[in-house]
């Protein structure tokens, strides 16, 4: 990734405009490439022995935390809607409040 691209992504993160990255031609092309390489199958479900249609490409290390990995194919995985929802909305294990209980 070029320094110019990285600075653009960092600026989008800073300005809370990450959606612009996900609608950019560079991301759209890479997303299609990753889905095709994985035969439009969810990689997480496949590890469980299931075959489920992948509908999106997910950053394993989140874009907002690791913008330098935004276009790194090793940081991307094709996943289904359910796995993507679970990744971003499920309760994470650990403490539930400040008092640690």
Domain total of the chain: 1
Query: What is the band of 1 on the pLDDT scale with cuts at 50, 70, 90?
Result: confident
Least confident of 4-8, 53-57, 95-99: 95-99
Bridge-partner residues for 79, per DSSP? 56
pLDDT, position 95: 53
pTM of structure: 0.83
- How far is 58 from 82, CA to CA, in rounded Å? 12
> pLDDT tens across 24-80, in order?
999 999 999 999 999 999 999 999 999 999 999 999 999 999 999 999 999 999 999
Domain that holds residue 12: 3-89
Query: What is the band of 94 on the pLDDT scale with cuts at 50, 70, 90?
Result: low
Residue 17 inside a domain? The answer is: yes
Residues in the chain: 101
Residue 12 inside a domain? The answer is: yes
Residue 101 inside a domain? The answer is: no
Residue 13 inside a domain? The answer is: yes
Residue 10 inside a domain? The answer is: yes
Residue 38 inside a domain? The answer is: yes
Residue 11 inside a domain? The answer is: yes
Q: Where are the alpha helices (DSSP H) in the chain?
A: 3-14, 19-22, 25-37, 43-47, 81-89
pLDDT, position 7: 97
pLDDT, position 88: 85
């Amino acid at each position: 990734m070029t320094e110019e691209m990285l600075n653009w992504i960092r600026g989008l993160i800073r300005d809370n405009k990450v959606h612009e990255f996900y609608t950019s031609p560079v991301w759209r092309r890479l997303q299609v490439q990753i889905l095709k390489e994985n035969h439009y199958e969810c990689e997480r479900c496949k590890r469980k022995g299931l075959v489920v249609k992948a509908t999106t490409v997910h950053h394993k290390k989140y874009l907002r935390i690791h913008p330098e990995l935004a276009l790194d194919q090793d940081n991307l995985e094709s996943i289904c809607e359910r796995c993507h929802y679970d990744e971003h909305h499920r309760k994470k294990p650990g403490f539930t409040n400040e008092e640690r209980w």
